Amino acid sequence: MLRDKLFAYHKWASQEILTHIEGLGEEIYTKEGDSSFPSIKETVSHVITVEKLWLLRMTGIKKPAAEQFHVDTVGEAKQAFMLLHAEMELYFSSLNEEQWQKFMKFTNLRGDSFEETREEMLFTFINHASYHRGQIVSLLRQFGKEGILTDYIYFPKKNR
């Protein structure tokens, strides 16, 4: 199924970029630059927070509170993603096709109302994370460091 492949890609890309950052040294993780968020750490915290919101929406909570994830080190970020993605996988495995296609009503943090399928929600948060991975690579380049390619085309074929 396409959504399974995309989620597997998303998990891979999330860990891949953090492993790359880990290899560059912890100081890069908290260094401030020019982006939507002042640091890689703040960007990663935002992505994890938003992914948890999407999971809660998918479970039927119409207006979940944003649980801020504090990931002070790259290791903490890797662990937080791993745990959240395991929680997501467990939930996703409980859904049948009809449940994936069921429309869910929810309100975003701005108060805007939406109605989307769980499948569309999944694609939304994967796309959101891809956007922010691009920002992380931009921050790395601002700091004079090498970026990393995490586009789907680079996702190892053995994992597809």
Bridge partners, residue 156, by sequence:
none
Task: Give residue-wise pLDDT tens across range 92-127.
Answer: 999 999 999 999 999 998 999 999 999 999 999 999
Bridge partners, residue 113, by sequence:
107
Rounded mean pLDDT, 34-49: 97
Q: How does strand 113-117 pair with strand 103-107? A: antiparallel
pLDDT-based confidence at residue 158 (cuts at 50, 70, 90): confident
Cα distances from 74 to residues 9, 25, 119, 149, 152, in angstroms, run 20, 9, 29, 18, 23
pTM, two decimal places: 0.94
What does the DSSP assignment read for 58-116?
HTT-SS---------SHHHHHHHHHHHHHHHHHHHHT--HHHHHSEEEEE-TTS-EEEE
Cα distances from 23 to residues 29, 76, 122, 144, in angstroms, run 11, 15, 30, 14
Q: Is 118 exposed, middle or buried (0-12, 13-18, 19+ CB in 10 A)?
A: buried
Q: What is the pLDDT of residue 67?
A: 85
Residue among 56, 57, 35 at smallest CA distance from 103: 57
Q: What is the pLDDT of residue 53?
A: 96
